[in-house]
Amino acid sequence: MRRANSAPLVALALAVFVAGCTGGSNVPISGVAAAPTPVPSPTATVLKLSAFALGGEQNVVPPGTANLQFTPDIHMSFQRQSDGTYKLWASGGGAFGTFGFTTPDFLTLTSMKSAGGKPAGVLLPAGAGTTAADADYAGAGSVFPAANGTDLLMIYHAENHLFSGTDYLVIPFYATVVLARSSDGGLTWTKQGVIISGLDAQQATQAATGAGALTPTAIVSGGFIYVLYREIDLQSGIDGVAIARAPVSSDGAPGSWKKYFGGSFSTPGLGGVTTPLNIVLDPTNKDLRQPHVSFNTYLNTFLMTMVGNGGIYVLTSPDLINWSAGLLVLNAPVPDSTVNPPTTPFNWNPTIISPGQASDTASGQTGYLYYAKGTGANSFHYMYRRAFTITGS
């Protein structure tokens, strides 16, 4: 989500190496997690984590890195390649789009594309001041193989900031979930259209906040693509984490999505009503945002990380519908519901990455918790990580 700029940081040594305008020729290995078919059940047994240990903080993208001063701005997505390296997509940057990287270890990042010797976006907004869904922001949520096994699909967070003829820099914005497709390994993308929107359409005027369908995270399981996202309907009063699905065979095309409502996937992804999932992070505060979901092969259950009032939480589910209470694993520098990025520190946009897995839709007993760290000195935030070990359940 776009943040206002303050004075720029002094440039430090560039740790993200520019590789020119080529994405490589490695064929991605399927990112489909070996997960069971999610079957919603009101009596599902939910595993609650009791021990999730984190190591010390490690900087990945140094503060001051050119063009990456807002990266990541949503959770990240990766695909393992046939040679054991990885392709990684992260949203944000100065362009408020999506950047692509290659990496052998998730620490040394090489930009897929460059401009003027600096990292450049592989998917960019359509253009501020237009009515396009992604006029002001186009940030990758999840990347996964298409049904043909060779192309890639991207489900991304899109924002439009145009209200009554005024294009706002930060807020208000109206968000939708949009689909893009790549046939060259994720270097270039063709936009396919909006696939999920809020119940309430974009209004002529809006309060200084976000609305619509935000920050999607996708996982493929049991013949369906599932997307969890935040839905905020200001007129209808709906606010929470929602879920929708489409058949894998559809490649997630517009019109193929159904939202979860009243116990089944039954309403249209575009403009349909939804029943928010019963997710509790901080029982005293409803602040919850920025989900990232994977299937954890160690716990044999779905694992999600989210930001809440207390910081970054993890929670589990057997079916993507019923979720455990959140376990706080990384304390917020200040209560998250009070954060103003230019003046207060924060840890946002978490991603669970277990090196060796085929994609970010699978995780194991160990790996890294990646997140965006803002110091409060300005509105910029950069990529950090901490090693994790699941030591109990």
Whether 249 has a pLDDT exceeding 80, the answer reads yes
* 135, pLDDT greater than 70: yes
Q: Measure CA 79 to chain center.
A: 15
Question: Average model confidence (pLDDT) for the chain?
Answer: 90
Percent of the chain surpassing pLDDT 90 = 84
Specify the higher pLDDT residue, 150 or 22. 150
First to last CA, the chain: 33
Identify the burial level of 299 via C-beta atoms within 10 angstroms of its C-beta, where 0-12 means exposed, 13-18 middle and 19 or more buried: middle
Instruction: Give the number of other CB atoms < 10 A from CB of residue 45.
Output: 9
Rounded CA separation 240/42 (Å) = 19
Tell me the per-residue pLDDT of 115-134, one tens digit each, with 9 for 90 and over. Answer: 999 999 999 999 999 999 99
**pLDDT class for 393, splitting at 50, 70, 90?**
confident
CA distance 311 to 257: 32
Collapse the DSSP code of 282 into the 3-class scheme (helix H, G, I; strand E, B; otherwise coil) and give the result: strand
Per-residue pLDDT band for 377 (boundaries 50, 70, 90) equals confident
Pick the closest to residue 343 from 380, 381, 374, 377 (CA basis): 377
Give the separation between CA 32 and CA 337, rounded to whole angstroms.
34
- Reading the block at residue 351, the tokens are 């991603």
Range 365-388 average pLDDT: 95
- pLDDT tens for 226-242 read 999 999 999 999 999 99
In this predicted model, which residue has the larger pLDDT, 340 or 42? 340
The whole-number pLDDT of residue 391 equals: 87
User: Tokens representing 324?
Assistant: 């455990």
Q: Is residue 103 pLDDT above 90, yes or no? A: yes
Whether the per-residue pLDDT at 386 is higher than 80: the answer is yes
Q: Is the pLDDT of residue 19 over 50?
A: no
Reduced to 3 states (helix: H, G, I; strand: E, B; else coil), residue 381 is strand
Q: What is the pLDDT of residue 202?
A: 98
**Res 20 pLDDT > 90:** no
Mean pLDDT, residues 66-89 taken together = 97
Residue 44 has what pLDDT?
A: 72
What are residue 336's phi and psi, to 5 degrees? -60, -35
pLDDT value for 93? 86
The whole-number pLDDT of residue 46 equals: 87
Percent of the chain at pLDDT > 70 equals 89
User: What tokens does 255 get?
Assistant: 């019109």
Please report, for residues 122, 197, 198, 339, 387, the alpha-carbon distance to residue 211 in angstroms, rounded to integers and kept in the order given.
26, 10, 8, 18, 34
Domain locations in the chain as residue ranges: 16-21+44-392
* 365-370 mean pLDDT: 98
Residue 48's pLDDT is what? 78
DSSP reduced 3-state for 248: helix
Say if CB 371 and CB 57 are below 8 A apart: no
**Confidence at residue 307, expressed as pLDDT on a 0 to 100 scale:** 98
Q: What is the pLDDT of residues 181-216, one digit of tens each?
A: 999 999 999 999 999 999 999 999 999 999 999 999
What pLDDT score was predicted for residue 39?
64
Q: State residue 13's pLDDT score.
A: 30
Higher pLDDT, 93 or 372: 372
Q: Does 72 sit behind a cis peptide bond, omega within 30 degrees of 0 on the bond before it? A: yes
Task: Check pLDDT > 90 for residue 25.
Answer: no
Q: Tokens for 93, please give them.
A: 């940057």
21's tokens: 């305008």
The CATH class of 16-21+44-392 is mainly beta
Rounded distance between C-alpha atoms, residue 233 and residue 141, angstroms: 21
pLDDT, mean of residues 79-91: 98
Residue range 24-34: mean pLDDT, rounded: 40
Return the bridge partners of 196, or none: 177
